[in-house]
Amino acid sequence: MFVTGILIVGCSNNDTYDSNYASAQYQTGFEKVFGTIGVNQDWKMVSSRTAKITVNTGTNENYTVGIYKNDPLFNASNCGLLAKGTVSDGNSVNLTFDSPTAQNKYYIGLFDSKGRSVAQLDSLNNNVLTATFGGTIARSAKSRTRVSANEQSTSTAYNAYLKTEVDFNIPTFSNSYTDITTIPESYYTKMDDTNSSGNPIYGDGKHYYIPSGKTIKADINFTKQKDNNCVIYIQGTWELPNTRSFTNGEQIIVANGGKIIFDGDANFNSGARFINQGTVETSTGTIYIENYSETNADCYNSGIMTLNNGGLSVAGNNSQLYNSGTMTMNYLDARGNCLFTNYGSLTAKTTTKNQTALSDQGTAASNFRLINGCHTSIDAMGVTQLIVLDNSRVDCSTGIYTGGGNSNNYVCLGNKSEICAGDWIDNGGHIYGSISSNEYSIFKHTGSVSESSSSAFKTKGYVYFDGTFSTEYHVNAIKTGDADQWNKNVCPDHIQYTSNEDSSLLTIPAGDCTGTGYNTSNSGGNIPATPSVYTIAFEDLGSIGDYDFNDIVLYVYPDKSANTLKVNLVAAGGILPVDVYYNDTEIFSHNNGSMENTTSDNNDKTKVISTYTTGISSDFTLSDNNFINKFKIVVHNTNGTETSVAASTEIGKAPQALLLPTNWTWPKETVNIGTTYSKFKNWISDKTKDINWYEE
C-alpha cells in the first residue's frame, strides 16, 4: 500500500530516487492526500498587472510614484514596493508590476521634491489599476486624519482646519474684463460711474484689468458698486502711491507675472479678498487682513510677497490666510483667533508688531492659529493652535509661546515634523504626536523653558522633546510627573520621550520644508523602497511526499527599481545533499544532512541561513515561468543519481515547488501543508477559490 509503504518513511537517509516511478507516485500520493487537482490549476499565485497614474496638482512638480502592497507612509519597512516611476505634474505614467493574484487593492504613493508624501488606496478595474492625484499634496488623506487634536469631546481631527486653493474660489481671467489703460485717468477713482441711462460708462463697473507689459501708478477705486465682488485683475504692474482700503467684497488679483506695489498701507476688510499669484512689494507699509461685522476678509498667496520694513496684520475669527508661495515680512501681527495656513515659505520676525521679547506676546498674540505644511520661520511666535504637518518645520530662534490656558489650544505634530525654538513658554498647552510607534516628531528648544499655568501641560503620542529642563518644581512635573506638589495624579501626561540631536537615532532629512533637518548625518527620510517579498518553497523527496514544502525555502526580493535580486535561504528541511541554483549559477549548497529552521511550531521568518544578491533585467517578472524556472534545486540521491526540481509546475500536475507572493511561514517538519493551511485543499481543486489560502 502506497501510504504505509512509501509515505511513512518521511525524510529518511535511505530514500532512493527512480525519476519515472517517483513522478507517477508523487502525483498519485498528492491527489490521495489532497484530492483531484483542477484541470486548470496553474499554481499561479502571482499575476502581472498594469497601472496608469495621473498627477494634476497644479504645482509644476516632478514626482516619484510608487505602487505598494501596504501603506508606505505607515509601514516603510514592510511597504512591499511593486513598481516605481517618475511623472511630471499634468502627466501620466504607465507601470507594469507583479502582484499577488488575490490582491485587487493597492496603495499608490506620491512623493515630491520637498519630502512631502501622499498615499491613497485604489482598486483594480478590469485588471488595470488607475489612480489620479489632484489638489495640494500636503492636504493628503493621511495628513488630514492621522493625528487627533485632543481627546476632548469637542475636538476634531485637524482636517477641519485645512484649506486648499479650491476653497478660495479664485476667479479666472475673462476677455470680457475692461482694460484700465483704455480709461481716462480722471475716471480711475470712479470707474463704475454711470451714464444717463444708469449704466457704467466704462465696462460693466465690476471687472477691470491691467494688461501685461503696462504699468499704472494711481489709485483705482469703485464708488457705486457695493457687495458685487468687483475685480481688478493685474497682469502688468500697479503701484498704489497712497494708503488704500478695499471693502465690500472687492477682489484684487495679481496674476502670475503681474506685480502690485503698495507705497502705503493696504486695508482689506468687510469681505475684500487679496489674491497674489505674482509679486507683491511694500516699502514701509502694512497689509491689513481684517474682518468687520463677522464678514470674511482673506488673503491667498502662491507667488512672492515681500513686505520690506513692514508687515502683515491679521485679525478676526473669519480672517483666513493661505500661502503656498514665499512670504517674507518684518512682522506678522496675528491676533483675534485668525487662521494662517502655510504650505510654502513664511518668514517673519515676530507675531506682535511692537514685540521686543518673547514675553511681550501677552494676550494679543496668544490666539493665533497656524497650520504649517512646509516651512515657517518666525523669530518670536505666540500661538494657541499649531498644527505641523508631516515632513514640515517651524523655527522660532528667539522662542515660542504655546497654549492659552484651555484644552482647545494645542500643538499637533505630524510624522518627521519639527519645532525648533529658543526659549519655550507654555501657557497650558497640550502637545500631541503620532500614536504609531514607527512615527515620531521633534519639539526642540535651545534656551529656557517655563510653565505659566499650573498642571495644565499635557503631551500624548510619540513627541520627542530635545532640550534642557530646569529642576524648578513645575518644570520638573512636566518632565517626570512626580514632583512633591505636582504629582502624577495632577500631571499624568508628562513628557515621556526625550532626545538629544548629537546622539539621537531619530532623523529628519534636510529640505525645503524641513529646513536644516534633525540629525541629518543619520540615515532615513528616503522614499519607502522596501521591495515586495516572495517565497519559493520546494519539496525535494518526490517518492516520499510528506508535503511539508520546507525542504528548501527561499525568500526572494526582486527590486526592479534598482535592478537587483536578493535571495535568502531561510529554511532547509531535507537531509539529502541539495544545491540551489539561480540562472544556472549555484547560489546555495546544503550538504550537512541537518534540518535548519523547520522543527519548531513557529518557524523563524527572520532567520537567514545564507544570502545571495545579483542583478536582474528590467523585464524580470515572477508571473512568467521562464523567470520562475531560473530557480531550481538539484538533489543528490543516495544511489548516486541527481533529481532536478524547477520552481514552476505544469498545469494539472502535482507541485514540488510553490511560488507564494509573501514571506510565507512554512509548516513544521513532516507536517502536511494541508494541516497547517486548511484552505489549501479547496484551492487545489478550483484555483478561483480561497486564492489567498496562504494568509491563513
- Residues 657, 544 within the same domain: yes
Residues 114, 8 within the same domain: no
Question: First and final CA of the chain: distance in angstroms?
Answer: 33
Q: Is residue 646 part of a domain?
A: yes
* 383 falls within a domain: no
* Structural domain count of the chain: 2
Looking at 138, 153, 169, the residue that finishes a domain is 138
- What's the gap between Cα 157 and its chain centre? 17
Distance between CA atoms of residues 518 and 213, nearest Å: 45
Residue 125: CB partners within 8 Å, gap ≥ 6? none
Helices in 546-679 by DSSP H: which ranges?
Answer: 625-628, 673-676
130 in the same domain as 7 = no
Task: Mark which of 138, 164, 195 sits at the end of a domain.
Answer: 138
284: Cα within 13 Å, side-chain hemisphere: 1
Run means of pLDDT, 10 residues per run, the chain, 696 residues? 36 46 80 93 95 85 91 78 93 95 91 72 90 58 34 35 62 90 88 80 89 94 67 95 87 94 90 92 88 71 90 77 91 82 90 69 59 91 86 92 71 90 82 80 89 65 82 49 42 72 81 86 68 94 75 95 94 92 96 86 88 95 94 90 90 94 93 94 94 92
DSSP states of 633-664 as a string? EEEE-TTS-EEEEES---TTSPPSEEEESS--
Asked if 20 and 80 sit in the same domain, the reply is no
**Does 160 fall in a domain?**
no
| Residue 504 resides in a domain | no
CATH number of the domain enclosing 132: 2.60.40.10
552 and 675 within one domain: yes
Domain final position from 105, 122, 138: 138
Contact assessment for residue 671 and residue 554, using Cβ atoms and an 8 Å cutoff = no
Question: Which distant-in-sequence residues (6+ apart) come within 8 Å of 586 by Cβ?
Answer: 579, 580
Cβ–Cβ contacts within 10 Å for residue 144, how many?
A: 16
Beta partners for residue 382, in sequence order? 401
Whether 38 and 66 map to the same domain: the answer is no
The answer as to whether 596 is a domain residue is yes
Residue 298 lies in a domain: no
In the block, cell 513522478 appears at 23
Q: What is the 3-state secondary structure (H, E, C) of 494-517?
A: CCCEECCCCCCCCCECCECCCECC
Distances, alpha carbon 165 to alpha carbons 59, 200, 235, 321, 388, in Å: 11, 32, 20, 11, 19
Task: Give residue 648's domain range.
Answer: 2-44+532-695
Q: Which of 286, 284, 253, 289 is nearest to 271 (CA)?
A: 289
Extended strands (E) in 198-285? 207-210, 215-217, 231-234, 237-240, 244-246, 251-254, 259-262, 266-268, 273-276, 279-282
Distances, alpha carbon 634 to alpha carbons 18, 540, 547, 574, 643, in Å: 15, 9, 18, 12, 6
C-alpha 513/C-alpha 511 separation (Å) is: 5
Q: What is the pLDDT of residue 496?
A: 76
Can you give the pLDDT at residue 111?
84
Does 630 share its domain with 676?
yes
Same domain as 117, residue 60: yes
Are 9 and 77 found together in one domain? Answer: no
SS3 570: strand
The answer to whether position 387 is within a domain reads no
pTM recorded for the entire structure: 0.58
**pLDDT in the model for residue 137:** 42
pLDDT for position 270: 81
Nearest to 635 by CA among 548, 572, 689: 572
Q: Indicate if 72 and 99 belong to the same structural domain.
A: yes
Q: Dihedral through CA 298, CA 301, CA 305, CA 309, nearest 10?
A: 30
Are 582 and 677 part of one and the same domain? yes
Provide the pLDDT for residue 408: 66
Helix (H, G, I), strand (E, B) or coil at 316: coil
Q: Is residue 559 part of a domain?
A: yes
Regarding whether 680 and 621 lie in a shared domain, the answer is yes
